[in-house]
Amino acid sequence: MPSFTSFLTVSLLAVGTLAQPAAKREKRHRNNEYCLSNREAQQVATNYGLLISNYSDELANAVLSPDFTDYSESVNTLINSCPQGSAAISLPLLAPTFSNRTQFEIGQGQQPLINFNQLNIWHSCDTVIIRWETTNTANITDVKPVVGLISMETVKAPSNNEYEYWVDTVYSEFDAGAWLQNLQEAGICSGSTAEPVPDPSASTSTMTSHTAPIASTMTPTVSAMPSYN
């Protein structure tokens, strides 16, 4: 009898396929002469998590394909509701958040670093899906955890690349409402008159004015906890 995990993996992949914009489907399986092992899938997941928790252009070049595309209504909602960084411009909710690697590097490079804790992982031959959580999107006493799902389609990277596989297309959604509320309560959002709530557990040396993205003072971490069974 098929395991529940196998059934869940197939279900998640099927939902991801149905949710993909039709214009992007030709990118699927354009180089499918491989099948990711558990170790390789975890490496893909870890690499992408590090782009969120400890970003660098060098890492992005090693992890993402040049025509990397990112779809996220959640990110677009945050950009439209609480833009951070000069690259944050209003986007239609269903439009690609990033249409190539360069756009991602500009946008992500301006964002505060947050922790990124992997909760679960599933994969097919060329797609890795993770459930993840972040707990420090703002430096406030009652910060709300944010949980999301990321589906990452991969392609083979050139032989001289640091990693064997690039992430080519991402479909990512998370609790944008909780994230936005954290930013508003911290006084980070443009036009907000709220003052940040002091965090007793935070060092006074890391407390900053509400005019700066307070989450940027957090220590970036990424935690990988494979859950294949």
Give the pLDDT confidence of 106-129 residue by residue, as tens digits.
999 988 899 999 999 999 999 999
Q: Is residue 119 part of a domain?
A: yes
Task: Of 208, 210, 205, give the one whose Cα is nearest residue 84.
Answer: 210
Mean pLDDT of 156-168: 97
Q: Is residue 159 part of a domain?
A: yes
Domain count, the chain: 1
Quote the pTM value: 0.72
User: Which tens digit of pLDDT belongs to each residue from 79-111?
Assistant: 888 877 676 678 899 999 999 999 999 999 988
Q: Is residue 9 part of a domain?
A: no
User: Which tens digit of pLDDT belongs to each residue from 170-209?
Assistant: 999 999 999 999 999 999 885 444 444 444 444 443 333 3
Q: Is residue 47 part of a domain?
A: yes
Domain extent for 169: 38-186
Q: Is residue 219 part of a domain?
A: no
Sign for the CA dihedral angle at 69, 48, 173, 227 comes to positive
Q: Is residue 90 part of a domain?
A: yes
Tokens of 32: 């499918």
Q: Is residue 203 part of a domain?
A: no
Asked if residues 71 and 170 have their Cβ atoms less than 8 Å apart, the reply is yes
CATH label of the domain that carries residue 112: 3.10.450.50
Q: Round to whole Å and give the CA distance between 141 and 180.
A: 15
Residues of the chain with pLDDT > 70, as a percent, come to 67
**pLDDT at 46 > cutoff 50:** yes
Q: Is residue 202 part of a domain?
A: no
